[in-house]
Chains A and B, each alone.
Chain A
Amino acid sequence: MTDLPSAKGGRPLFLETPAQDDLLAIAVALAQEVAVMRERADTVERLLVQKGVLGPNDIENYKPDRSVDLAREQWRQDYLGRIFRAVKERAEAEAAGDTPREH
């Protein structure tokens, strides 16, 4: 992908700190990407129904068996580990007596 373009002219500070504005912008961009993924999955489901591979309620009525439940739980734990990496590292640092230092 080419770099996303930015506008000449600087960005005003809306909230108390630049970090708060940046985090909000990141959260909204992530919400956008979730919507993109949701729409892609929706397209797949609709195509599968349209082509007769799935019935209209097959996904809602799907009952995962035990092995699928276990695989999904493992995936979620790995996923949460990636998401909360910083929290885990913070705990380790606190335990080791490291406090955040001024930049």
Chain B
Amino acid sequence: MLMERQFDHGLLPHTHADERARQDFVQSLKLYLAQKVVPGIETVYEARVRPAFEKAHGRPPQDNYEVDAVMNGNYYYRLWASLYRTAQELMWCSAAEPILRQREDMARAAVVANPVGSLELDPALEVPRYLSAVDIHCMPGSYHGEAIAGDVTQGALYDRGVHIYGMGGLGPKLGKAGELVGQFIHEKFPQMRDRPLRILDIGCTVGHSTLAYAEAFPNSEIHAIDVAAPVLRYAHARAEAMGVPVHFKQMNAEEMDYPDNHFDLVVSHIVLHETSSKAIHRIMKECRRVLKPDGVAAHIDLCFFEDLSPFNGFMMMFDGPNNNEPFWGTLRKMKARNLLKDAGFAEDAVFEQFVSRAYQGQTVFSEGASDAGRGTWKIIGGMK
């Protein structure tokens, strides 16, 4: 099944036929690995590895760490891992080629003459070490790398990379995560549905999810922050090209410039796992601080280990050591509920919701993490 082409908002790089074919190949390779190679890992585990563990211990592995201890050295698993890592590297290389070729032109094209939204950069803002120590998810240059004035390369790279990575499950505008949270807020907090809100998206990168809120909550005032200038420049130009007014600011979510009691809704999308043990508590607290009373914070990420079977938890561990996601495993070991309570939310005001996301875009709210864990996301949050 071939994914939809990405929505052309006018900023995408001109891509030669061979470059396009390279990118299509990577997407096909990723889909092939996910559908034809990954299932074999569980087959091997169930047929050989788990029975051997049970024979030795008189019980099955009780958590993902015990599965890891016996599966990490398995040849078939490592063969998949080597291929998956290679696909990830080819994905970024294939996405980068046309962008690097047009770097200067793309920077010029991202300058907006008469914006309906705004862009405020803060050149003095320091990129936190948890985002600069390694290139997150093996994206060369991470979010903040800059080589020329007004550089948007990392934004464009992220835009194309996420499109390939999503294998069609994120929609043509790549807004799926934002759509899911918006849909969830509509159902859980109907009182927020029909009035204009002031909304903040933290760690917005290029605004894929941010723009979904303009559709879900019409006439709302939408703000979005990130620590990295190149993704924000691109986000601003992209939002303007799509005619959506958003106020982008370069800011660290650990310490925001916004006043107390300012927003109706604060959201983040697949961001929590790219922070740190210290930062995550600060971010959760800051998000609550800037909320109005009765305002809602909602964060969507992949599942935590507490949500997954020992085997699926083991599969979920991969990205930490193997895809440059230093905080990945530490976050998933945490209890979501504790994170929210530590941030100051009352016990009866916090929520957790699983959402399933099929590769071809169907969505179902679900009771638990029903598949290998990768297709299920989790929304956690609370009302102030």
Interface, chain A (partner B; CB < 8 A):
1-2, 4-12, 14-15, 20-21, 24-25, 28-29, 31-32, 35-36, 39-40, 43
Interchain nearest-CB distance for A32 vs B (Å): 5
At the interface, yes or no: B83 with Cβ under 8 Å from chain A?
Answer: yes
In the assembled complex, the Cα of A28 lies from the Cα of B89 at a distance in Å of: 11
A29 touches which of B17, B90, B135, B140 (Cβ 8 Å): B90
A8→B17 contact, CB < 8 A: no
List chain B residues, Cβ under 8 A from A31: 25, 29
B18→A6 contact, CB < 8 A: no
Those of B114-173 within 8 Å (CB) of chain A: 133-135, 138-142
A5 touches which of B22, B78, B79, B96 (Cβ 8 Å): B96
Q: Convert B314-329 into 0s and 1s, putting 1 for each residue whose CB lies closer than 8 angstroms to a CB of A.
A: 0000000110100000
Interchain nearest-CB distance for B142 vs A (Å): 7
Interchain nearest-CB distance for B92 vs A (Å): 7
List chain B residues, Cβ under 8 A from A28: 29, 83, 86-87, 90
Given contacts A9-B133, A12-B85, A25-B86, 10 further A-B contacts (CB under 8 A): A2-B97, A7-B92, A7-B135, A9-B135, A12-B321, A14-B322, A28-B29, A39-B17, A39-B21, A40-B17
B79 touches which of A1, A15, A25 (Cβ 8 Å): A15
B92→A14 contact, CB < 8 A: no
In the assembled complex, the Cα of A20 lies from the Cα of B78 at a distance in Å of: 11
A7→B17 contact, CB < 8 A: no
In the assembled complex, the Cα of A15 lies from the Cα of B321 at a distance in Å of: 15
A40→B21 contact, CB < 8 A: yes
In the assembled complex, the Cα of A31 lies from the Cα of B87 at a distance in Å of: 12
List chain B residues, Cβ under 8 A from A1: 97
A4→B85 contact, CB < 8 A: no
At the interface, yes or no: B81 with Cβ under 8 Å from chain A?
Answer: yes
Closest A-chain residue to B80, C-beta based? A14
B322→A12 contact, CB < 8 A: yes
A24→B92 contact, CB < 8 A: no
In the assembled complex, the Cα of A68 lies from the Cα of B87 at a distance in Å of: 39
A-B CB contact pairs (8 Å), 28 listed:
A2-B100, A4-B96, A5-B92, A5-B100, A7-B92, A8-B134, A8-B135, A9-B134, A9-B135, A9-B324, A12-B81, A15-B78, A15-B79, A15-B82, A21-B82, A25-B82, A28-B86, A28-B90, A29-B86, A31-B25, A31-B29, A35-B28, A36-B21, A36-B22, A39-B24, A40-B17, A40-B18, A43-B17
A4→B86 contact, CB < 8 A: no
A6→B29 contact, CB < 8 A: no
List chain B residues, Cβ under 8 A from A43: 17
Closest B-chain residue to A33, C-beta based? B22
Interchain nearest-CB distance for B140 vs A (Å): 3
In the assembled complex, the Cα of A11 lies from the Cα of B134 at a distance in Å of: 11
B85→A6 contact, CB < 8 A: no
A24→B97 contact, CB < 8 A: no
A2→B82 contact, CB < 8 A: no
